[in-house]
Amino acid sequence: MSSLRIANGTVLTMTPDCAPIPGGVVCMDGGLISYAGPAEGAPPHSGEEIIDAGGCVVLPGLVNAHTHLAMTLFRGYADDMALQTWLEDWIWPAEMRLTAEDVYWGALLGTCEMLRAGVTCFNDMYHMPDQAVRAAIDGGIRACPSGVLLGFLPNAQDLLEEAIAFVGQLKDEGHPRVHPMLAPHAVYTCPDAMLEKVGEAATQLEVPIHIHLAETASEVRDSYDEHGESPIEHLNTLGLLDIPMLAAHCVHLSEADIALLAEKQVGIAHCPTSNMKLASGFAPVVALLEAGAIVGLGTDGCASNNNLDVLEEVHLAALLEKGDSGDPTVLPAPTALAMATRLAAQALHLGDMIGTLEAGKRADVIVVDMSRPHLQPPRDPFSHLVYAARAADVRTTIVEGEVIMDEDEILTVDEAEVIARATECADLLLG
Ligand SMILES: [Zn+2]
């Protein structure tokens, strides 16, 4: 693995209350960060490759805390529909026809899109997760893969056994960029016995659980009808909140739910675009953060977003909270950016590995070009990144100490081929 030094940029370490470090230095060696801080304290240059980040901001790679990556194939396929119609009449029937090659090329297309947007880690929940792993390894991105478990499928039991075996295999292989989870789709799509089995397996394998939770008002109503408690309370009754968990959406919450999510340190993936597009509602993000809950950001899949642009989620999350609360002081820019870096990493239970620029952490680093007209004149980099920057401003993406995207070029895969093959798959699948 190569040694790298990024110099002359403004460094945002994204540690709590960090101040921008103008002309800072980030050194990487063997896939790890060896130094991040002011130039004065940096170790002497010892012949490593230097990336000049003059006019740029250097920060941790962005984390997409919830997606369904191969759904890039469904981009633009079924818009402007209610969640249940969208899922039951459009998405699930098409997904029954998916092949392994569809999932691979769809996931690789998503990988290219994310690397360009400075996303260095994604948390996936999708069918044939071995193909997402294959795409992540080929593309050079960090992945938290999991197969989606749906209790109503005729082969649900087999899929559960397969998912457990798959996680066990990935744990044995120990790829440094692959961090598997187990993913029951939701409380309303998985019977209690299945959720309990997932809980046992997750404990045994020491992996987190990835689940959709309290996404819609009807889901919560149905949970009270069926179980006499909210979906969050029901997971607690089943003992699942004592296992590391990443819960996507968490839109419709009672005060008791918020307290429980904070107490159990459940990682939350807030998905502002998806929640707005599917009219799911407004997640109480400020109340969650104030209660001490861990809230990261996710794009959700490309059929409900329709892109994988985490910087756009940062922008929307900040604006949405202000618009919804009537208070322009809530969710200030540094907090919004933390939700795509430090807090998102913590939400995935990878907080000791990624999410900040600190010696000893994995070297997932991005360089954003701040010299463009829409980012001038130079001012607070938090403000510019949250309120003015775009995915295309990301100049360099580094994962595990390797430069994967630089100067508008992805260095790991042939992007033109990926686009052609993914388009072919989508045409065959959806017509
Ligand atoms: Zn989702």
Question: Region 39-60: what's the mean pLDDT?
Answer: 96
At the topology level, CATH places domain 4-60+361-410 in Urease, subunit C; domain 1 (2.30.40)
Please check the confidence at residue 2 and state whether its pLDDT lies above 80: no
Rounded to the nearest whole angstrom, what is the distance from the C-alpha of residue 186 to the centroid of ligand 1? 10
Mean pLDDT, residues 275-285? 94
Q: Ligand 1: distance of its center to the CA of 138 in Å?
A: 24
Span 154-203, pLDDT tens digits:
999 999 999 999 999 999 999 999 999 999 999 999 999 999 999 999 99
Q: Report CA(52)–ligand 1 centroid distance (Å).
A: 38
> What was the pLDDT predicted at 305?
93
Give the up-direction half-sphere exposure of residue 139: CA atoms within 13 A in the CB hemisphere.
31
From the list 320, 77, 324, the residue with the least C-alpha distance to 312 is 320
Q: Look at residue 20 and tell me whether its pLDDT is greater than 90.
A: yes
6 Cα: distance to centroid of ligand 1 (angstroms): 35
Tell me the CA–centroid distance for residue 306 and ligand 1, in Å. Answer: 12
- Per-residue confidence (pLDDT) for residue 92, from 0 to 100: 87
CA 299–ligand 1 middle distance (angstroms): 8
Q: What pLDDT sits at residue 193?
A: 96
The per-residue pLDDT for 297 is 98
Which amino acid belongs to residue 111? T
Read off the pLDDT of residues 359-396 as tens digits, 9 standing for 90 and up.
Answer: 999 999 999 999 999 999 999 999 999 999 999 999 99
Backbone angle region of 228, left / alpha / beta, with phi > 0 → left and psi within -120 to 50 → alpha: left
- For the beta carbon of residue 89, count every other beta carbon within 10 angstroms: 13
What is the C-alpha to C-alpha distance for residues 106 and 341, in angstroms, rounded to an integer?
25
Structure tokens at 306: 């329709």
pLDDT higher than threshold 70 for residue 30:
yes
Distance 146 CA to ligand 1 centre (A): 12
**Distance of alpha carbon 429 from alpha carbon 98, whole angstroms:** 7
Model pLDDT for residues 403-415, shown as the tens digit of each residue: 999 999 999 999 9
Cα-to-centroid distance, 271 and ligand 1 (Å)? 9
Residue 132: what are its φ and ψ, rounded to 5°?
-65, -40
**pLDDT tens digits, one per residue of 176-188:** 999 999 999 999 9
Torsion of CA 166, 169, 266, 127, to 10 degrees: -20
Q: Is 385 exposed, middle or buried (CB count within 10 Å of its CB: 0-12, 13-18, 19+)?
A: buried
Using CA atoms, how far apart are residues 55 and 377, in angstroms rounded to an integer? 11
Domain with CATH 3.20.20.140 in the chain: 62-347
Asked if residue 419 lies in contact with residue 109, where contact means CB atoms within 8 angstroms, the answer is yes
> 140 CA distance to ligand 1 centroid (A)?
23
Q: Where in the chain is the domain with CATH 2.30.40.10?
A: 4-60+361-410
The alpha carbon of 221 and the centre of ligand 1 are apart by a number of angstroms equal to 19
222-277 pLDDT, tens per residue?
999 999 999 999 999 999 999 999 999 999 999 999 999 999 999 999 999 999 99
Supply the pLDDT for residue 86.
85
pLDDT in tens, 91-100: 989 999 999 9
Query: SS in 3 state form for the chain?
Result: CCCEEEEEEEECCCCCCCCCEEEEEEEEECCEEEEEECHHHCCCCCCCEEEECCCEEEEECEEEEEECHHHHHHCCCCCCCCHHHHHHHHHHHHHCCCCHHHHHHHHHHHHHHHHHCCEEEEEECCCCHHHHHHHHHHHCCEEECCCEECCCCCCHHHHHHHHHHHHHHHHHHCCCCECCCEEECEHHHCCHHHHHHHHHHHHHHCCCEEEEECCCHHHHHHHHHHHCCCHHHHHHHCCHHHCCEEEEECCCCCHHHHHHHHHCCCEEEECHHHHHHCCCCCCCHHHHHHHCCEEEECCCCCCCCCCCCHHHHHHHHHHHHHHHHCCCCCCCHHHHHHCCCHHHHHHCCCCCCCCCCCCCCECCEEEEECCCHHHCCCCCHHHHHHHCCCHHHEEEEEECCEEEEECCEECCCCHHHHHHHHHHHHHHHHC
pLDDT tens-place string over residues 130-156? 999 999 999 999 999 999 999 999 999
Residue 27 scores a pLDDT above 80: yes
Q: Please name which of 24, 26, 23 lies closest in space to residue 35, comparing C-alpha atoms.
A: 26
Q: Rounded to whole angstroms, how far apart are CA atoms 202 and 235?
A: 14
At 1, the pLDDT band (50, 70, 90 cuts) reads: low
CA of 248 to the centre of ligand 1 (A): 7
The pLDDT tens digits for 293-328 are: 999 999 999 999 999 999 999 999 999 999 999 999
CATH of 62-347, one of 3.30.70.260, 3.40.50.1100, 3.20.20.140, 3.50.50.60: 3.20.20.140
Give residue 125 CA to ligand 1 midpoint distance, Å: 7
Residues with CB under 5 A from ligand 1 (ion): 300
What pairs with residue 62 in β-bridges?
A: 119
pTM of the model: 0.98
Rounded to the nearest whole angstrom, what is the distance from the C-alpha of residue 50 to the centroid of ligand 1? 39
